[in-house]
Amino acid sequence: MRDYEVFEEFYKNAYQIIRRACAYSGLNHEEVKQECAIVYFENPLIAEQFSEGNNKSALRLLMVGLRQSLKDFYDFGTHVDRNSVYESGLAGLQRIHDNTDEAVGIENEIMNKLEIERLKKKFGEEYIDDIIEYYDFGSDSYCKKHGITNETARKRISRKIQKLRHEEA
């Protein structure tokens, strides 16, 4: 019974930090406490550090284990502790969901392909493929392939898009 009392004291002292760290996990208060208890009792070093008065060290050990333990509860497979990261991950999932075949009508698909073909005839196939490659594979892959920096790639593609918009307007 003594070990559980020590855990209760530790949990009470660290509750605000733990609650904030688990804010985006979707767990209620009891589930968060249960996950903390699992991590706490799996790592006896946490109890030892807390008993010796090393609260920061004990909390650090708990948070490392808790982050690993909570990965299964997050939608994105990684620990989320900021709203911007949560919103970014949520937007990414929404984009993936929106680009499924069910969401995109066959008419839109055909129109997009026709528009790309028209732009390739007007500006050249390499010109349009370069822009598509940048957005499809990401700036890092694009930069590695062409041996340029991110800033140079961003400027290059930005100028090409500006030219497209100017010519199409």
Residues found in the chain: 169
Residue type, 31: E
- Are 42 and 3 in contact by the 8 Å Cβ rule? The answer is no
In this predicted structure, what is the pLDDT of residue 89? Answer: 65
Stated pTM of the model: 0.47
pLDDT at 101: 54
- CA 120, CA 88: separation in Å to the nearest integer? 32
Q: State the pLDDT at residue 155.
A: 92
> Which stretches of the chain score pLDDT less than 50?
1, 103
> Residue 159: what pLDDT?
92
Q: Is 139 helix (H, G, I), strand (E, B) or coil?
A: helix
38 CA to centre of own chain:
26
